Amino acid sequence: MASNAQIFRLKVIDVITNTEGILFEGENVAKAIVAHYEKFLGSEDDIAIRPSHDLFSNKLNEADALHMVRPVTSQEVKLAMFSIGNDKAPGPDGYSAAFFKSAWDIIGVDVSNAIIDFFNTGKLLRELNNTLIVLIPKKTTPLSITDYRPIACCNVVYKCISKIVADRIKGYLNRIVSINQSAFIPGRKISDNILLTQELMHNYHRNYGPPRCAFKVDIQKAYDTVHWSFLKDVLVGFGFHSRFVHWIMTCVSTPAYSLCVNGEVHGYFKGRRGLRQGDPLSPYLFTLVMEILTCILQHASRVDSSFKFHNKCEKQRIINLCFADDLFLFARGEVQSASFIMDSLTSFTNMSGLVPSLQKSTAFFCNVSDHVREAILNVMPFEEGHLPVRYLGVPLISTRLLAKDCNVLVERMEKRIGNWKNKLLSFAGRLQLIISVLSALHVYWSSVFILPASIIKELEAKMRNFLWSQEASFHRGKAKVAWNAICVPKYEGGLGIRRVGDVNKALMASHAWSILNKKDSLWVAWIHSYRLKQCNFWTCKVVTNCSWSWRKLLQIRPFLRDHIWSKLGDGRNTSAWYDSWSPIGPLANYISPRVISNAGFMLNAKVADVHLHGLWSWPLEWRTRFPTLNQLDTIHLQPNSLDRLCWKDGDDLKEFSSSIAWHSCRSRDQDVDWVNIVWFAQCIPRHAFLMWLIMRRKLLTQDIILQWDLSRRKNMNMMCCLLCYENVDSHEHLFFECSFSSKVWIMVREKAGMANVDQKWSSIISWLKARGRSKSAAHFVSKLVVGATAYVIWQERNARLFRNQTRPPDTIRDTILKTIRYKLMGVKFRQCTNVARLRGVWGIGEDNVNDDGG
């Protein structure tokens, strides 16, 4: 491993080249960096054109605009302050959010008054908006200034002001920002952009169908080049209140910058343009800026007949898809359409200051002749690209997803595990890393693709080996408990790890849910227009030329069918034949489409269409032919309420969430009655993990090992307990029938409040189970003591077996009691007589205990 000095050296910039290729070393490095950013951020180009009023088709109404400038309260200030992460970097003043939170009782009133004063007067103290720029390398070996990303570290008081403004603005973005954009807008998902782009670029690897082209546009220094005067025009154009515009422009246009280079602060200059990466307000303002490009494209496409839409884009008028500064443009494969797009980009550049990078932008073509392709690339001088490419962090493919496309997931997990090599990680520590880190690595991909089975298997194998491996490399390990048994919730006897395939299916179910609910999403609208085409989702056929992602989504319909239920209101949004709305399931399971049509009903009929004046309107002979229909007589519609989709889990109807869908698709075990004595709030994780193994009888005592592998008998012909040398080494004997371990338990059980409990393990567990849900501090201590005693006894047994080390019972007792005492010193208890008595028993004074009094 690298030493601290080596790690520090990796962060030092020894040499750097500026944008003109001149090399700087030593003290000149900082001067060159300051000069670059002073020229870049401290200058402003002239605006060639301003956005016209007719671009702003969506505007805030006056009531919303007025509501956004309502008085700021001290409670709003506190909420904003406490929403800033404690680990966020401080600004030039050096004070972190953690400081303000911890000292809020002392300084809260003054800080709130200062912040409220800004909103009342519109004046911001210059020092509050001073900003420190730190440089984050984009590459492993950065050489040029442009290889670093500037991140702005703002003062916490300013961040609080910015967050208040941001919180007010984000609730209204969906009213003025078109559904072509999905970044930073509540309710919109990044996966919608990916799924729609996959659909539009399906079969791009084949040369047939209408000629079409797509452009992946990279914008140079996107945040840093926004013109402030343009931003103000945008805010005014979208109908924001003049006071709100003044708040934003004061925040944006008054910063002064210094740069942190090699741990020292250099330079001081005023900004003249750009949005700071690190300012909570910047993402929302940039979304409004990019909306102008959509407005330009849509407005121009209505008045300019030369533009032709990309295949399957005309119904939704799709020209661009945008997520922050990730931009995709689509058009028919013709020079005129490409010229239209380039003209629109040029107009946007002249207004905003945002310039496409010709070197980093790429063009994709399908069934476009060579001479037309050349002409388009002359108009839009981008690099010609080939699929797959990376888009929003995942591969953009035109065929099916292969295992090799997902190898990056496996490599990412291997890298994470590699970073933990040679660290003394307990089983409990590994479990926490699996749940919080490794299990999250695939989630983003799993929300977009059905992952290949081989990748799912490999990811789970790596997590399993990491959990059980006895090697420093974590490559292999003999599992003590089957993976299926581990991957259930703790209350069913598992460890709460979620299987990759189950999570994948649950996340993909959310897309089907959006389709069935007709969510306000561009992808959902496109699916209804071009994939379903008035057909029901449940009966839609998998056609041969559909995309791989759509085919995979349709393949999980059998799972979805069992759980998606329509709770009837007026019956106007529920299919009479194909949706599940009655206890007998979809009627199409009993009645064929021909019989339905012959009876005079439409196949797309709703429940309300077949339930008239409180009665079902189907033919009387159906009741004899399909006797199950008689069960529907108790169902009545409610004219004043709407139909609502629910997720059916057993007999329960719930609101859909990916977590609920996961519960429905995972394997289930019987609930265990010992979960509350193993996993409880403030438990000691490594003790809890050992207790879990004990309760599952998976602790590797010698009798258990021999059951697994009889060939080991020659190495264990002395199966005696190494603590007492009297009986066989087994679970029952070790806890606490062994004379040695029994002696230890007798020494500590009084402090556990269990002096009168029989020393047999079964009796101890039965006593704890009866008090498992108790919130009593005494019973909490009892569980801690039992877990600690079992853990230390197991440690002693292993020390004698593998290291030939021994300790007397008194030393083991002291270790147990010291462990519990230290734990109790860090636990917050409610003030009461029993807690005071408990402190006295454990010798803990008032000065040693965290006490929140609640």
Indicate the pairing of strand 256-261 with strand 23-25: unpaired
Structure tokens belonging to residue 467: 């959990």
What pLDDT score does 850 carry? Answer: 46
- Tell me the three state secondary structure of residue 340: helix
| Cα–Cα distance, 406 to 99 (Å, whole number) | 43
Residue 193 pLDDT grade (very low, low, confident, very high; cuts 50, 70, 90): very high
In this predicted model, what pLDDT tens digit does every residue of 776-789 receive, in sequence order?
Answer: 899 999 999 999 99
Structure tokens belonging to residue 658: 């990916």
Sign of CA dihedral 575, 580, 584, 586: positive
Residue 743 pLDDT grade (very low, low, confident, very high; cuts 50, 70, 90): very high
Closest Cα partner for 604 from 636, 579, 582?
A: 579
What pLDDT score does 424 carry? Answer: 79
In this predicted model, what pLDDT tens digit does every residue of 571-598 receive, in sequence order?
Answer: 999 999 999 999 999 999 999 999 999 9
Task: Look at residue 254 and tell me whether its pLDDT is greater than 70.
Answer: yes
Among the residue ranges 9-18, 73-82, 316-325, 679-688, the one predicted with the least confidence is 9-18
pTM for the whole structure: 0.90
In this predicted model, what pLDDT tens digit does every residue of 92-129 receive, in sequence order?
Answer: 999 999 999 999 999 999 999 999 999 999 999 999 99
Task: Look at residue 301 and tell me whether its pLDDT is greater than 60.
Answer: yes
In this predicted model, what pLDDT tens digit does every residue of 273-288 receive, in sequence order?
Answer: 999 999 999 999 999 9
Residue 830 pLDDT grade (very low, low, confident, very high; cuts 50, 70, 90): confident
Distance (Å) of CA 111 to CA 70, 77, 91, 105, 119: 19, 9, 16, 11, 13
Among the residue ranges 40-49, 216-225, 376-385, 754-763, the one predicted with the least confidence is 40-49
Q: Which residue has the higher pLDDT, 423 or 257?
A: 257
Indicate the pairing of strand 23-25 with strand 644-649: unpaired
What pLDDT score does 179 carry? Answer: 93
| Cα–Cα distance, 647 to 659 (Å, whole number) | 11
Task: Look at residue 810 and tell me whether its pLDDT is greater than 80.
Answer: yes
What pLDDT score does 851 carry? Answer: 40
Residue tagged 């529907």 (tokens): 632
What pLDDT score does 434 carry? Answer: 96
In this predicted model, what pLDDT tens digit does every residue of 430-485 receive, in sequence order?
Answer: 999 999 999 999 999 999 999 999 999 999 999 999 999 877 666 677 888 999 99
Give the length of the chain: 854
Domain ranges in the chain? Answer: 4-178+233-276, 403-499, 563-660, 674-842
Q: Are 170 and 285 in contact (CB under 8 A)?
A: no
In this predicted model, what pLDDT tens digit does every residue of 613-655 receive, in sequence order?
Answer: 889 999 999 999 999 999 998 888 998 999 999 999 888 899 9
